[in-house]
A and B are shown apart, each in its own frame.
Chain A
Amino acid sequence: METKWAVDNLQTIRTLMERSALYRRALAPIMILAGIIGIAAGLTGWLCRNESNRGFVCLWLVTAVISLAGALLLMRRQALKDSEPFWSPPTRRVCQALLPAFFVGLVMACLILAFSSGSGGEGLQHLLVILWVLFYGCAVHAAGFFMPRGIRWLGWIFIIVGCALLSSLSLGAQWVDQMQPNLLMGGIFGGLHLAYGIYLHFTEQKTPTA
Protein backbone atom coordinates (compact mmCIF):
# COMPACT_ATOMS: atom_id res chain seq x y z
CA MET A 1 0.00 0.00 0.00
CA GLU A 2 2.74 2.44 1.07
CA THR A 3 4.84 1.38 -1.89
CA LYS A 4 2.03 2.18 -4.30
CA TRP A 5 1.61 5.57 -2.67
CA ALA A 6 5.35 6.27 -2.96
CA VAL A 7 5.46 5.12 -6.60
CA ASP A 8 2.41 7.26 -7.44
CA ASN A 9 4.01 10.25 -5.75
CA LEU A 10 7.25 9.78 -7.68
CA GLN A 11 5.29 9.48 -10.93
CA THR A 12 3.34 12.67 -10.16
CA ILE A 13 6.58 14.49 -9.38
CA ARG A 14 8.14 13.30 -12.64
CA THR A 15 5.09 14.36 -14.68
CA LEU A 16 5.00 17.80 -13.07
CA MET A 17 8.72 18.32 -13.56
CA GLU A 18 8.40 17.42 -17.25
CA ARG A 19 5.41 19.69 -17.75
CA SER A 20 6.95 22.66 -15.99
CA ALA A 21 10.14 22.71 -18.05
CA LEU A 22 9.04 25.41 -20.49
CA TYR A 23 10.99 26.42 -23.57
CA ARG A 24 12.51 29.75 -22.64
CA ARG A 25 15.06 30.70 -25.23
CA ALA A 26 14.87 34.36 -26.26
CA LEU A 27 12.44 34.42 -29.17
CA ALA A 28 12.87 38.07 -30.20
CA PRO A 29 15.96 37.56 -32.43
CA ILE A 30 14.41 34.44 -33.98
CA MET A 31 11.15 36.23 -34.76
CA ILE A 32 12.91 39.30 -36.13
CA LEU A 33 15.11 37.13 -38.37
CA ALA A 34 12.08 35.18 -39.65
CA GLY A 35 10.25 38.46 -40.24
CA ILE A 36 13.07 40.01 -42.24
CA ILE A 37 13.54 36.84 -44.33
CA GLY A 38 9.78 36.63 -44.97
CA ILE A 39 9.48 40.24 -46.08
CA ALA A 40 12.60 39.93 -48.26
CA ALA A 41 11.23 36.78 -49.90
CA GLY A 42 7.87 38.43 -50.54
CA LEU A 43 9.50 41.44 -52.18
CA THR A 44 11.87 39.21 -54.18
CA GLY A 45 8.97 37.12 -55.50
CA TRP A 46 7.01 40.23 -56.41
CA LEU A 47 9.89 42.09 -58.07
CA CYS A 48 11.06 39.01 -59.98
CA ARG A 49 7.47 38.39 -61.14
CA ASN A 50 7.52 34.89 -59.69
CA GLU A 51 3.99 34.00 -60.78
CA SER A 52 4.00 30.29 -61.64
CA ASN A 53 2.66 27.82 -59.07
CA ARG A 54 5.90 25.89 -58.96
CA GLY A 55 8.01 29.03 -58.71
CA PHE A 56 5.80 30.25 -55.89
CA VAL A 57 6.01 26.99 -53.95
CA CYS A 58 9.78 26.68 -54.53
CA LEU A 59 10.44 30.25 -53.37
CA TRP A 60 8.51 29.75 -50.14
CA LEU A 61 9.91 26.31 -49.43
CA VAL A 62 13.41 27.74 -49.76
CA THR A 63 12.39 30.68 -47.56
CA ALA A 64 11.04 28.28 -44.92
CA VAL A 65 14.26 26.24 -44.98
CA ILE A 66 16.42 29.38 -44.65
CA SER A 67 14.26 30.73 -41.80
CA LEU A 68 14.32 27.37 -40.01
CA ALA A 69 18.09 27.04 -40.42
CA GLY A 70 18.60 30.59 -39.14
CA ALA A 71 16.31 29.95 -36.16
CA LEU A 72 18.15 26.71 -35.29
CA LEU A 73 21.51 28.49 -35.50
CA LEU A 74 20.30 31.26 -33.19
CA MET A 75 18.88 28.68 -30.75
CA ARG A 76 22.15 26.74 -30.80
CA ARG A 77 24.13 29.91 -30.19
CA GLN A 78 21.95 30.78 -27.19
CA ALA A 79 22.29 27.23 -25.84
CA LEU A 80 26.09 27.32 -26.17
CA LYS A 81 26.22 30.76 -24.54
CA ASP A 82 24.20 29.47 -21.57
CA SER A 83 26.21 26.21 -21.46
CA GLU A 84 23.02 24.21 -21.89
CA PRO A 85 22.13 21.33 -24.22
CA PHE A 86 20.66 22.47 -27.53
CA TRP A 87 18.32 19.49 -27.90
CA SER A 88 16.76 19.87 -24.44
CA PRO A 89 13.42 18.23 -23.49
CA PRO A 90 11.49 21.54 -23.89
CA THR A 91 13.05 22.08 -27.34
CA ARG A 92 12.10 18.54 -28.29
CA ARG A 93 8.51 19.03 -27.15
CA VAL A 94 8.18 22.32 -29.06
CA CYS A 95 9.46 20.63 -32.24
CA GLN A 96 7.08 17.69 -31.76
CA ALA A 97 4.15 20.10 -31.38
CA LEU A 98 5.11 22.01 -34.54
CA LEU A 99 5.73 18.93 -36.66
CA PRO A 100 2.21 17.67 -37.63
CA ALA A 101 0.97 21.00 -39.01
CA PHE A 102 4.33 21.68 -40.71
CA PHE A 103 4.14 18.23 -42.30
CA VAL A 104 0.67 18.88 -43.73
CA GLY A 105 1.87 22.23 -45.13
CA LEU A 106 4.83 20.50 -46.76
CA VAL A 107 2.63 17.77 -48.27
CA MET A 108 0.34 20.43 -49.78
CA ALA A 109 3.36 22.17 -51.29
CA CYS A 110 4.71 18.88 -52.69
CA LEU A 111 1.34 18.02 -54.24
CA ILE A 112 1.23 21.37 -56.00
CA LEU A 113 4.82 20.95 -57.17
CA ALA A 114 4.02 17.48 -58.52
CA PHE A 115 0.63 17.99 -60.11
CA SER A 116 0.17 21.69 -60.82
CA SER A 117 0.87 23.14 -64.25
CA GLY A 118 3.78 25.52 -64.34
CA SER A 119 1.79 28.51 -65.55
CA GLY A 120 -0.25 31.13 -63.68
CA GLY A 121 -2.95 30.11 -61.22
CA GLU A 122 -3.04 32.86 -58.60
CA GLY A 123 -6.30 31.43 -57.21
CA LEU A 124 -4.48 28.29 -56.15
CA GLN A 125 -1.63 30.33 -54.74
CA HIS A 126 -4.03 32.46 -52.69
CA LEU A 127 -5.65 29.33 -51.31
CA LEU A 128 -2.24 27.88 -50.51
CA VAL A 129 -1.23 31.09 -48.67
CA ILE A 130 -4.40 30.89 -46.58
CA LEU A 131 -3.94 27.21 -45.76
CA TRP A 132 -0.28 27.74 -44.86
CA VAL A 133 -1.24 30.63 -42.58
CA LEU A 134 -3.92 28.52 -40.88
CA PHE A 135 -1.68 25.49 -40.42
CA TYR A 136 1.18 27.66 -39.20
CA GLY A 137 -1.15 29.30 -36.67
CA CYS A 138 -2.25 25.88 -35.42
CA ALA A 139 1.40 24.75 -35.18
CA VAL A 140 2.45 27.83 -33.21
CA HIS A 141 -0.56 27.53 -30.91
CA ALA A 142 0.26 23.86 -30.23
CA ALA A 143 3.89 24.73 -29.49
CA GLY A 144 2.67 27.51 -27.20
CA PHE A 145 1.67 24.94 -24.58
CA PHE A 146 5.38 24.35 -23.95
CA MET A 147 6.44 27.99 -24.18
CA PRO A 148 5.54 31.21 -22.39
CA ARG A 149 1.84 31.84 -22.99
CA GLY A 150 2.29 34.87 -25.29
CA ILE A 151 3.26 32.66 -28.21
CA ARG A 152 -0.25 31.17 -28.26
CA TRP A 153 -1.59 34.65 -29.02
CA LEU A 154 0.63 34.77 -32.09
CA GLY A 155 -0.86 31.41 -33.14
CA TRP A 156 -4.35 32.80 -32.71
CA ILE A 157 -3.47 35.91 -34.75
CA PHE A 158 -2.32 33.71 -37.64
CA ILE A 159 -5.49 31.61 -37.35
CA ILE A 160 -7.74 34.69 -37.28
CA VAL A 161 -5.91 36.28 -40.25
CA GLY A 162 -6.21 32.99 -42.16
CA CYS A 163 -9.92 32.70 -41.38
CA ALA A 164 -10.52 36.33 -42.39
CA LEU A 165 -8.72 35.76 -45.71
CA LEU A 166 -10.61 32.51 -46.30
CA SER A 167 -13.92 34.24 -45.62
CA SER A 168 -13.00 37.12 -47.92
CA LEU A 169 -11.95 34.71 -50.67
CA SER A 170 -15.15 32.68 -50.26
CA LEU A 171 -17.28 35.83 -50.43
CA GLY A 172 -15.46 36.87 -53.62
CA ALA A 173 -13.75 39.94 -52.14
CA GLN A 174 -11.76 41.64 -54.88
CA TRP A 175 -8.91 42.83 -52.70
CA VAL A 176 -7.72 39.30 -51.95
CA ASP A 177 -7.70 38.31 -55.63
CA GLN A 178 -5.86 41.48 -56.55
CA MET A 179 -3.15 40.98 -53.95
CA GLN A 180 0.00 39.41 -55.38
CA PRO A 181 0.44 36.06 -53.52
CA ASN A 182 4.14 36.66 -52.83
CA LEU A 183 3.33 40.01 -51.24
CA LEU A 184 0.52 38.40 -49.26
CA MET A 185 2.93 35.76 -47.92
CA GLY A 186 5.63 38.32 -47.18
CA GLY A 187 3.14 40.65 -45.52
CA ILE A 188 1.53 38.03 -43.32
CA PHE A 189 4.48 35.80 -42.39
CA GLY A 190 7.17 38.45 -42.54
CA GLY A 191 5.09 41.27 -41.11
CA LEU A 192 3.59 39.33 -38.21
CA HIS A 193 6.91 37.75 -37.21
CA LEU A 194 8.70 41.08 -37.39
CA ALA A 195 6.00 42.84 -35.37
CA TYR A 196 6.01 40.10 -32.72
CA GLY A 197 9.82 40.07 -32.65
CA ILE A 198 9.95 43.82 -32.06
CA TYR A 199 7.30 43.49 -29.34
CA LEU A 200 9.31 40.72 -27.66
CA HIS A 201 12.54 42.68 -27.99
CA PHE A 202 11.13 45.36 -25.74
CA THR A 203 9.21 43.11 -23.35
CA GLU A 204 11.00 39.74 -23.14
CA GLN A 205 12.81 38.90 -19.92
CA LYS A 206 16.56 38.80 -20.43
CA THR A 207 17.09 35.48 -18.66
CA PRO A 208 16.72 32.84 -21.37
CA THR A 209 16.99 29.24 -20.30
CA ALA A 210 15.58 26.10 -21.92
Chain B
Amino acid sequence: MNPDLFPQLNRVIHEKGRLAIMSALAAAPELTFTELRDLLDMTDGNLTTHIRTLQQEGFVSVAKSYQNNRPLTSCALTAAGRKAFAQYIDLLDQIVRQSRSK
Protein backbone atom coordinates (compact mmCIF):
# COMPACT_ATOMS: atom_id res chain seq x y z
CA MET B 1 0.00 0.00 0.00
CA ASN B 2 1.21 3.45 -0.80
CA PRO B 3 1.71 5.13 2.61
CA ASP B 4 1.82 8.55 0.95
CA LEU B 5 -1.90 8.49 0.31
CA PHE B 6 -2.96 8.73 3.95
CA PRO B 7 -1.37 12.09 4.70
CA GLN B 8 -3.10 13.46 1.62
CA LEU B 9 -6.56 12.84 3.12
CA ASN B 10 -8.07 16.17 4.06
CA ARG B 11 -7.94 16.39 7.88
CA VAL B 12 -10.99 18.67 8.09
CA ILE B 13 -13.21 16.32 6.09
CA HIS B 14 -11.69 13.19 7.63
CA GLU B 15 -13.41 13.70 10.99
CA LYS B 16 -16.46 11.37 11.22
CA GLY B 17 -19.09 14.05 11.88
CA ARG B 18 -17.82 16.45 9.25
CA LEU B 19 -17.50 13.64 6.70
CA ALA B 20 -21.15 12.78 7.35
CA ILE B 21 -22.18 16.41 6.81
CA MET B 22 -20.15 16.65 3.60
CA SER B 23 -21.62 13.34 2.33
CA ALA B 24 -25.19 14.45 3.01
CA LEU B 25 -24.68 17.83 1.37
CA ALA B 26 -22.93 16.29 -1.64
CA ALA B 27 -26.15 14.53 -2.65
CA ALA B 28 -28.55 17.44 -2.19
CA PRO B 29 -28.44 21.00 -3.53
CA GLU B 30 -29.02 22.20 0.02
CA LEU B 31 -30.33 20.86 3.32
CA THR B 32 -31.82 22.75 6.23
CA PHE B 33 -30.19 22.58 9.62
CA THR B 34 -33.12 20.49 10.91
CA GLU B 35 -32.92 18.04 8.02
CA LEU B 36 -29.20 17.59 8.59
CA ARG B 37 -29.65 17.17 12.33
CA ASP B 38 -32.39 14.54 11.86
CA LEU B 39 -30.52 12.73 9.10
CA LEU B 40 -27.23 12.52 10.98
CA ASP B 41 -28.73 12.16 14.44
CA MET B 42 -26.50 14.90 15.84
CA THR B 43 -27.15 17.37 18.62
CA ASP B 44 -27.69 21.03 17.70
CA GLY B 45 -24.41 22.02 19.35
CA ASN B 46 -22.36 19.30 17.68
CA LEU B 47 -23.79 20.08 14.26
CA THR B 48 -23.28 23.82 14.71
CA THR B 49 -19.63 23.29 15.67
CA HIS B 50 -18.91 21.05 12.68
CA ILE B 51 -20.71 23.34 10.24
CA ARG B 52 -18.76 26.31 11.58
CA THR B 53 -15.48 24.45 11.01
CA LEU B 54 -16.50 23.50 7.46
CA GLN B 55 -17.66 27.07 6.83
CA GLN B 56 -14.32 28.48 8.01
CA GLU B 57 -12.55 26.13 5.58
CA GLY B 58 -14.80 27.43 2.80
CA PHE B 59 -16.37 24.00 2.20
CA VAL B 60 -19.92 24.83 3.27
CA SER B 61 -22.05 27.92 2.80
CA VAL B 62 -24.76 28.79 5.29
CA ALA B 63 -27.80 30.87 4.33
CA LYS B 64 -30.25 32.26 6.85
CA SER B 65 -33.79 33.14 5.81
CA TYR B 66 -37.35 32.99 7.09
CA GLN B 67 -40.07 30.47 6.30
CA ASN B 68 -43.52 30.91 7.85
CA ASN B 69 -42.05 33.66 10.05
CA ARG B 70 -39.54 31.17 11.45
CA PRO B 71 -35.80 31.39 10.96
CA LEU B 72 -34.54 28.83 8.46
CA THR B 73 -30.87 27.91 8.20
CA SER B 74 -29.85 26.17 4.98
CA CYS B 75 -26.46 24.61 4.27
CA ALA B 76 -24.90 23.75 0.93
CA LEU B 77 -21.52 22.65 -0.35
CA THR B 78 -19.44 25.35 -1.98
CA ALA B 79 -17.51 24.67 -5.18
CA ALA B 80 -14.34 24.29 -3.07
CA GLY B 81 -16.17 21.90 -0.76
CA ARG B 82 -17.41 19.79 -3.63
CA LYS B 83 -13.90 19.63 -5.08
CA ALA B 84 -12.33 18.71 -1.72
CA PHE B 85 -14.97 16.04 -1.15
CA ALA B 86 -14.40 14.56 -4.60
CA GLN B 87 -10.65 14.46 -3.92
CA TYR B 88 -11.25 12.77 -0.58
CA ILE B 89 -13.44 10.08 -2.18
CA ASP B 90 -10.89 9.63 -4.94
CA LEU B 91 -8.12 9.06 -2.38
CA LEU B 92 -10.21 6.55 -0.45
CA ASP B 93 -10.92 4.76 -3.70
CA GLN B 94 -7.23 4.68 -4.55
CA ILE B 95 -6.40 3.24 -1.13
CA VAL B 96 -8.94 0.44 -1.63
CA ARG B 97 -7.82 -0.30 -5.18
CA GLN B 98 -4.12 -0.37 -4.29
CA SER B 99 -4.55 -2.77 -1.42
CA ARG B 100 -6.79 -5.05 -3.49
CA SER B 101 -4.32 -5.18 -6.35
CA LYS B 102 -1.61 -6.51 -4.01
A interface with B by C-beta (< 8 Å): 2-3, 6-7, 9-10, 12-13, 16-22, 24, 148-149, 203, 205, 207, 209
Kindly provide the distance from the CB of B42 to the nearest chain A CB, expressed in whole angstroms: 12
Number of A-B contacts defined by CB within 8 Å: 65
Q: Is the CB of A6 within 8 A of B100?
A: no
Point out the residues of chain A lying under 8 angstroms from B100, CB to CB. Answer: 3
Kindly provide the distance from the CB of B36 to the nearest chain A CB, expressed in whole angstroms: 8
B43 within 8 A of A: no
Band of interface residues on B? 20 to 34
Q: Is the CB of A20 within 8 A of B39?
A: yes
Question: B4-33 interface mask toward A, CB cutoff 8 Å, 1 = contact, 0 = none?
Answer: 001000000000000110011111111100
Kindly provide the distance from the CB of A159 to the nearest chain B CB, expressed in whole angstroms: 21
What is the bound-complex CA distance between A205 and B70, given in angstroms? Answer: 13
Given A16-B23, A20-B24, A207-B29, output 14 extra A-B contacts at Cβ < 8 Å: A2-B1, A2-B6, A3-B96, A6-B95, A6-B96, A7-B96, A13-B19, A17-B24, A18-B27, A20-B31, A20-B35, A20-B39, A22-B31, A203-B67
Question: B25-57 interface mask toward A, CB cutoff 8 Å, 1 = contact, 0 = none?
Answer: 111111100110011100000000000000000
The DSSP consensus for interface residues of chain B is helix
B89 within 8 A of A: yes
Kindly provide the distance from the CB of B94 to the nearest chain A CB, expressed in whole angstroms: 9
Pull 24 A–B residue pairs with CB atoms less than 8 Å apart, ordered by A: A2-B1, A2-B99, A3-B99, A6-B92, A6-B96, A7-B96, A12-B19, A12-B23, A13-B19, A13-B23, A13-B89, A13-B92, A16-B20, A16-B39, A16-B40, A17-B26, A18-B27, A19-B39, A20-B25, A20-B27, A20-B31, A20-B35, A205-B67, A207-B30
Kindly provide the distance from the CB of B83 to the nearest chain A CB, expressed in whole angstroms: 16
What is the bound-complex CA distance between A20 and B29, given in angstroms? Answer: 10
Most chain A Cβ neighbours within 10 Å, of B6, B20, B39, B96:
B96
